[in-house]
Amino acid sequence: MLELTVNLDERSYPIYIGPGIYQSGVNLPEFIRTNRPVIVTNDMVAPLYLDALLEQLAPFNPLHIILPDGEQHKNLASFELVSAFLLENNCGRDTCLIALGGGVIGDLTGFVAACYQRGVPFIQIPTTLLSQVDSSVGGKTAVNHPLGKNMIGAFYQPDMVLIDTLSLSTLPAREFAAGMAEVIKYGLIYDTELFEYLEQNVSTLKALDNDALQHVIYRCCEIKALIVAEDEKEQGVRAQLNLGHTFGHAIEAEMGYGQWLHGEAVAAGMMMACQLSEKRGKLNLDEVIRVQRLLESFNLPTSFPIEVSYDAFIKHMKKDKKNKQGTIRFILPKCFGQCELVSDVTLDELQDLISPNAS
């Protein structure tokens, strides 16, 4: 089992990574500092892992709520449903919420924890690769709105993140690929050695080799922990973690949440960011091709869907959270391992980038 810490002074917390640690390896009750844990999960994850977690927490008489699976349920209706469940069961500030699931469950549960009675503790137990390497760490919690992704939320850190790599054995191949998009992102923004490791170990990772998975999950969490410790609320360097997301969020919003997985949209968005960087004289063509090949090796899309018009694309990007004073801002790679935030991308550049789909 591997362990690292997100250093945020008195709000620091541990991340544990290893195989089989839902059942053994971490004494989860030690982290339940309150009287009543409430597990929030979905109807895909519950049949796989809920019973084991309930057994481990049996001394606390835990409650649980099971939500429908899917990005389309990461909304205010689900937020209200979980909040009502807590109220109906007379849950107070001595409640600890436990998010058992992927990014949707983690983001939603964290946002409820941030708001319920002005804040209760919560624990992240991510079950998808994407949530293990990215969304479970760093305290970004939110729900979607029809007009924009993650537009309603809060920065609210968990008490612990527990990552069981064996959970990836039950993950559908498409979900695993979506998680690899975020892994590739970390190589692009921060760590060229990680990027090269991914290029050299495609088949090993796709075969779910535990040593390889632990290596990449640990490294991604380590990178994110360093960035979050420096810039918890995304006032500076943390924005780099949004590489591909301005484009990707526009795809998700226009296609309808759940039609494209988040990681798939990020993959296409990263490709577009790399192409824009190459047109601006930063990345070279060989580097862009390497990114494309690596994404495609994990069966990820490398272009945005033809159904999305240029006008719709711009409409959604104008709502991006990185924007300032109405200016769309983008994270673009300068080279492998380094990115920059740019605010001078013109509409003509964007139209040229997506001209096959321009309306």
Catalytic residue status for 234: yes
Residue 356: count of CB within 10 angstroms of its CB:
9
Residue 245 labelled as part of a binding site: yes
Residue 236 labelled as part of a binding site: no
**Which is catalytic among the residues 36, 140, 185, 316?**
140
Which positions ≥6 away from 338 have C-beta within 8 Å?
A: 189
How far apart (Å, rounded) are the C-alpha atoms in residues 110 and 319? 23
Catalytic residue status for 224: yes
**What sign has the CA pseudo-torsion 71, 186, 109, 111?**
negative
| Token pair for 352 | 């040229």
**Which is catalytic among the residues 36, 215, 219, 262?**
262
Residue 69 labelled as part of a binding site: yes
| Token pair for 116 | 């319920």
**Which is catalytic among the residues 185, 215, 245, 316?**
245
**Which is catalytic among the residues 42, 242, 252, 254?**
242
Q: Kind and range of the H or E element at 60?
A: none
Q: Which of 148, 190, 183, 111 is nearest to 322 (CA)?
A: 148
Catalytic residue status for 206: no
Residue 134 labelled as part of a binding site: no
**Which is catalytic among the residues 185, 215, 219, 249?**
249
Amino acid at 93: R
**Which is catalytic among the residues 224, 282, 316, 329?**
224
Residue 348 labelled as part of a binding site: no
**Which is catalytic among the residues 36, 185, 219, 238?**
238
Residue 208 backbone class (left: φ over 0; alpha: ψ -120 to 50; beta: rest): left
**Which is catalytic among the residues 36, 75, 175, 234?**
234
Angle between helices 103-115 and 76-88 (to 10 degrees): 60
**Which is catalytic among the residues 27, 33, 90, 118?**
118
Angle between helices 192-200 and 285-297 (to 10 degrees): 50
Residue 106 labelled as part of a binding site: yes
Residue 103 labelled as part of a binding site: yes
Catalytic residue status for 215: no
**Which is catalytic among the residues 182, 264, 278, 287?**
182
Catalytic residue status for 118: yes
Residue 179 labelled as part of a binding site: no
Q: Using the 8-state DSSP alphabet, how is residue 49 labeled?
A: I
Residue 92 labelled as part of a binding site: no
Catalytic residue status for 233: no
Q: From the annotation, which residues make up the binding site?
A: 69-74, 103-107, 127-128, 140, 149, 182, 245, 262
Q: From the annotation, which residues make up the binding site for Zn(2+)?
A: 182, 245, 262
Q: From the annotation, which residues make up the binding site for NAD(+)?
A: 69-74, 103-107, 127-128, 140, 149
Q: Which residues are catalytic?
A: 118, 140, 182, 224, 234, 238, 242, 245, 249, 262
